[in-house]
Structure 1
Amino acid sequence: MDVEKLFNGIAVIVDNEIEKKTSAIYKIKQLIEAKNIPVAVFSEIPQLDVIPALASASFVILDWDYTNGELEVEEGERVTIPGGLVENEEERLIEFIKKLLTDVFVPVFIFTAKQPDTVIDSLKEASLWDDKKTNRIFVKQKIDVDTEEELFSAITEWIKKMPSAYVLKEWERVLRETQNAMFNEFYSYSPNWAQIIWNMLKEDSIENQQEFGDFVTRSLQNRIQNYSFDEASIQSDTPPNIEELRKVVEGERYLSYMEQPAQAYTGDLFKDGSKYYLNIRAQCSLAREADPVVYCIRGKKLKSKDIVSEDIRLTTERELVFSAKKHFSLDQMCEICQDAEKLAEFNRHFSKHRNSIFFRKGTILERDDKVIIGCVAGEEAIQFDMDLEVLNFNAWKDKRIGKILPPYITKIQQKCAVNMVREGVTPLPKELFMSFDE
Structure 2
Amino acid sequence: MDIKSLMSGIAVVIDDAYERDDEEHEDPIFQIVRNIENEWQIPFYKTASLPPENQYKNLLRSASFVLLDWKLWPSNAQELEREGIEANVAFLNKAKEYFVPVFIFTNETLEDVTNSIEEQSPGLYNEDDTEKNFIFVEKKSNLRQISDLVAISDWTTKNASVYTLKSWESAFYEAKRTLFSSMYDRSPNWPRAFWSAYEKDKVDPSSSLTLLINNNLLGRFKSDVFSAQILDSENPPVCREEIRSLMSEASFVKNQCLLETEVRSGDVFDLSDNKYLINIRPDCDCIVRKESDEIDQLELYCLMGHTMDDEVVANRFKNKPFVEKIWESVSFGIIDGSTVQFDFRQFQIMKYKDLKTNRIGRLIHPHITKMQQRFAFYQQRQGLPRIPQEAF
Query: What is the TM-score of this pair, normalised by structure 2?
Result: 0.90
> 1:93, CA displacement in angstroms?
1.7
- Unmatched tracts of structure 1, length 5 or more: 70-80, 310-356, 434-438
Corresponding residue for residue 29 of structure 1: 33
Question: RMSD value over aligned CA atoms?
Answer: 1.9
Cα distance in 2 for partners of 1:431, 1:278 equals: 45
Write the mapping of 1:229-378 to structure 2, written as runs, cut at 5 A. 229-234=226-231, 235=233, 237-258=235-256, 260-274=259-273, 275-289=275-289, 290=295, 291-309=297-315, 357-360=316-319, 363-378=321-336
Cα distance in 2 for partners of 1:168, 1:214 equals: 22
> 1:232, CA displacement in angstroms?
3.0
- Unmatched tracts of structure 2, length 5 or more: 290-294
> 1:223, CA displacement in angstroms?
1.3
**Residue number among 102, 108, 127 corresponding to 1:108 in the alignment:** 102
Cα distance in 2 for partners of 1:175, 1:431 equals: 64
Give, as a single letter, the amino acid of the residue that structure 2 aligns with 1:305: E
Write the mapping of 1:18-417 to structure 2, written as runs, cut at 5 A. 18=18, 19-21=21-23, 22-34=26-38, 35-53=40-58, 54-69=60-75, 81-102=76-97, 104-126=98-120, 127=122, 128-133=124-129, 134-151=132-149, 153-205=150-202, 207-234=204-231, 235=233, 237-258=235-256, 260-274=259-273, 275-289=275-289, 290=295, 291-309=297-315, 357-360=316-319, 363-387=321-345, 388-417=347-376
> 1:48, CA displacement in angstroms?
1.6
Tell me the matched-pair count: 372
CA contact (8 A) 1:9 1:37 kept: yes
Cα distance in 1 for partners of 2:77, 2:359 equals: 55
SS of the residue 2:235 aligns to = coil
Corresponding residue for residue 427 of structure 1: 386
SS of the residue 1:89 aligns to = helix
Judged with a 3 Å threshold, the aligned counterparts in structure 2 of structure 1 residues 430 and 170 are, in CA distance, closer, same or farther, namely farther
Cα distance in 2 for partners of 1:303, 1:385 equals: 16
Q: CA offsets per residue over residues 205-247 of structure 1, 9 Å max, x none?
A: 4543222222211111111125331223223624211110001
Give, as a single letter, the amino acid of the residue that structure 1 aligns with 2:15: D
Which has the higher mean CA deviation after the structures are superposed, 47-56 or 267-276? 47-56
SS of the residue 1:156 aligns to = helix
> 1:165, CA displacement in angstroms?
0.4
Q: CA offsets per residue over residues 43-84 of structure 1, 9 Å max, x none?
A: 111112222222232210100111342xxxxxxxxxxx5321
> 1:432, CA displacement in angstroms?
5.3
Q: CA offsets per residue over residues 143-170 of structure 1, 9 Å max, x none?
A: 000111102x111221133110000101
CA contact (8 A) 1:28 1:145 kept: yes
SS of the residue 2:343 aligns to = strand
CA contact (8 A) 2:105 2:139 kept: yes
SS of the residue 1:287 aligns to = coil
Cα distance in 1 for partners of 2:223, 2:310 equals: 39
Cα distance in 2 for partners of 1:295, 1:110 equals: 53
Identity across matched positions, percent: 28
> 1:260, CA displacement in angstroms?
4.7
SS of the residue 2:263 aligns to = coil
Judged with a 3 Å threshold, the aligned counterparts in structure 2 of structure 1 residues 405 and 205 are, in CA distance, closer, same or farther, namely farther
CA contact (8 A) 2:95 2:101 kept: no
Corresponding residue for residue 318 of structure 1: none
Give, as a single letter, the amino acid of the residue that structure 1 aligns with 2:32: I
Cα distance in 2 for partners of 1:308, 1:431 equals: 38
Judged with a 3 Å threshold, the aligned counterparts in structure 2 of structure 1 residues 170 and 256 are, in CA distance, closer, same or farther, namely same
Q: CA offsets per residue over residues 258-284 of structure 1, 9 Å max, x none?
A: 155212111111121232111110111
CA contact (8 A) 1:48 1:99 kept: no
Cα distance in 2 for partners of 1:86, 1:273 equals: 49
CA contact (8 A) 1:174 1:227 kept: no
Cα distance in 1 for partners of 2:299, 2:234 equals: 47
CA contact (8 A) 1:17 1:23 kept: yes
> 1:382, CA displacement in angstroms?
1.1
Corresponding residue for residue 338 of structure 1: none
Judged with a 3 Å threshold, the aligned counterparts in structure 2 of structure 1 residues 38 and 431 are, in CA distance, closer, same or farther, namely farther
SS of the residue 2:300 aligns to = strand
Judged with a 3 Å threshold, the aligned counterparts in structure 2 of structure 1 residues 430 and 252 are, in CA distance, closer, same or farther, namely farther
Corresponding residue for residue 334 of structure 1: none
Give, as a single letter, the amino acid of the residue that structure 2 aligns with 1:88: E
